[in-house]
Amino acid sequence: MSIPKEIREILQKLEEENFESFIVGGCVRDLLMGRQPKDWDITSNAKPEEIQKIFPDSFYENEFGTVGVKIENQVVEITTYRTESKYTDKRHPDDIKFADKIEDDLKRRDFTINALAMDGKKRVVDLFDGKGAIASKTIQAVGNPEERFNEDALRMMRAVRLATILEFDIEKQTLEAIEKNHSMMRIISKERIRDEFIKIIEAPSAKRGMDLLRQSGLLQHTVPELLEGVGVEQNLHHIYTIWEHNIRALDYACSKNYSTEVRLASLLHDIGKPKTKRGGGRNCTFYGHEVVGARIAGQILDRLKFPKKQTDKIVKLVRWHLFYYNIGEVTESSVRRLVANIGKEDVEDLIKVREADRIGSGTPKAVPYKLRHLKFMIDKVARDPLSPKMLRVNGNDIMALLEIEPSPKIGMLVAALMNEVLDDPDKNEKKYLEKRVAELDRLTEKELGELGKRGKQKVAKEEEKEIEKIKARHYVS
């Protein structure tokens, strides 16, 4: 790996003006490891106003000595050497002072592998044997680890994140300091915790990251609900505890490079099992854990400030991961209703969560014949009307036909039509639907509401059938 031309040009311009300059931090670490850096950070003894004179197309809008330089359709940050005072709130330094030497700047860094600087000629400044830590694959705090974590408690999560992404070990004293001080995470904003947690989940070895979060005590401040499954035995069709099952499901999703939503749904799909467990030994049951789990997953994601759209999708995948499908017993109508409940855009991800669930249970095959057949059936009904948007009559048409204003009744009529079309797609014809609107208009709102619920009742009846079968064999997938 080499330093890009535009970065070298910045370093060269600073040096031409008699200033020191280095690339610093994670980009140096990645270069030494033969990895492609995602970001390039530059540090210099030039003050912000001096940097702006050298680079007129730049901006300086912060109190941290960081100037943004626009070059080659990107922004490169140049930060003046600095030292930091105490961190009273364990998040931000009380005071920042500019420094004259690169050595002073490196002393404030979090981990030795990040306390590295490299000049344009690839000469490395390494005060804390960061290169040795890279060679030994070790995450070690700069200086006293407790002091580093007292400065910014989020560094504890960052240690786990780096260990997960780089597949390094956390040095003994550094790990012990995390185990001792993890309670400081309580004052860190949920957004910052979420961002580190997502990076762990998105790493190929996310399972190892989850084990590290648990070992260090940090899981108590991210998803403590997962700890309820530690050591909890399952029934005779599971060879792993609930905790092991959940992180193995995540591991499968990572091995397939599935999306963040699928990974989180795989991790959380059985989050409701500890609260729904009934009985003991190998004949215990977890009836309704998918419904309880969806509610808990929603609470977790809301607490961590996940975007609503992402939360809604993950909750939906958790809620429906136990979908029933048995060849010869489930009709095309049932498959259409499954797709309508999940949404055509998410049904493929639901099957991916089911695959992760199976592998997490210890089964050898992620996609048995039944799941392959379901995929075939989904493709078969894919062109059928599966949502109100696909009806040949919409809300505006209904208002025009009945000469009425917008009201809840419109939604009830659309739901009633949708139920009929899910049962028989051939009914999705404009003339037929207009005729049905006129007939349904004679019903009371109560009767319309009941009619609209029939589709949900059908789904509920099929779920009830599955629950009865589950009870007969003492098994919940």
pLDDT at site 93: 63
CB–CB of 42/65 below 8 Å?
Answer: no
pLDDT at site 470: 40
Which residues are registered as beta bridge partners of 69?
Answer: 58, 76
| pLDDT one-digit tens code per residue, 376-403 | 888 888 888 888 889 999 999 999 999 9
- Copy the structure tokens of residue 430: 């404009």
Fold held by 137-222? Hydrophobic Seed Protein (1.10.110)
Residues 6+ apart with CB under 8 A from 451: 412, 415, 416, 419, 440, 443
Q: Is the pLDDT of residue 178 over 60?
A: yes
- Copy the structure tokens of residue 227: 């700890």
Fold held by 5-136? Beta Polymerase; domain 2 (3.30.460)
Given pLDDT bands bounded at 50, 70 and 90, which one contains residue 471? Answer: very low
What is the distance between the alpha carbons of residues 351 and 258, in angstroms, rounded to a whole number?
12
Residues 6+ apart with CB under 8 A from 37: 1, 26, 27, 30, 31
What is the distance between the alpha carbons of residues 110 and 140, in angstroms, rounded to a whole number?
9
What is the distance between the alpha carbons of residues 301 and 222, in angstroms, rounded to a whole number?
10
Given pLDDT bands bounded at 50, 70 and 90, which one contains residue 38? Answer: confident
Secondary-structure breakdown of the chain: helix, strand, coil percentages, each rounded to the nearest 5:
60, 10, 35
Task: Give the residue, 361 or 33, on which the prediction is more confident.
Answer: 33
Closest by Cα among 184, 255, 166 to 221? 184
Task: Give the residue, 117 or 322, on which the prediction is more confident.
Answer: 117
Other beta carbons within 10 angstroms of residue 149's beta carbon come to 26
What is the distance between the alpha carbons of residues 176 and 471, in angstroms, rounded to a whole number?
46
What is the distance between the alpha carbons of residues 46 and 431, in angstroms, rounded to a whole number?
76
| pLDDT one-digit tens code per residue, 299-309 | 999 999 999 99
Q: Which residue intervals of 382-407 are DSSP H helices?
A: 395-402
Q: Is the pLDDT of residue 477 over 50?
A: no
pLDDT at site 474: 34
| pLDDT one-digit tens code per residue, 40-50 | 999 999 999 99
Give me the mean pLDDT over the 172-188 stretch: 97
What is the distance between the alpha carbons of residues 441 and 428, in angstroms, rounded to a whole number?
18
Top mean pLDDT of 92-96, 190-194, 360-364 is at 190-194
Give me the mean pLDDT over the 446-462 stretch: 63
pLDDT at site 384: 87
- Residues 174-196, buried b or exposed e (16+ Cβ, 10 A)? bbebbeebbebbeebeeebbbeb
Residues 6+ apart with CB under 8 A from 146: 177, 180, 181
| pLDDT one-digit tens code per residue, 233-272 | 887 667 889 999 999 999 999 999 999 999 999 999 999 9
Domain limits, the chain: 5-136, 137-222, 234-384, 392-442
Does domain 234-384 correspond to CATH entry 1.10.3210?
yes
CB–CB of 245/360 below 8 Å?
Answer: yes
CA 184 to chain centre: 23
The 8-class DSSP code of residue 116 comes to E
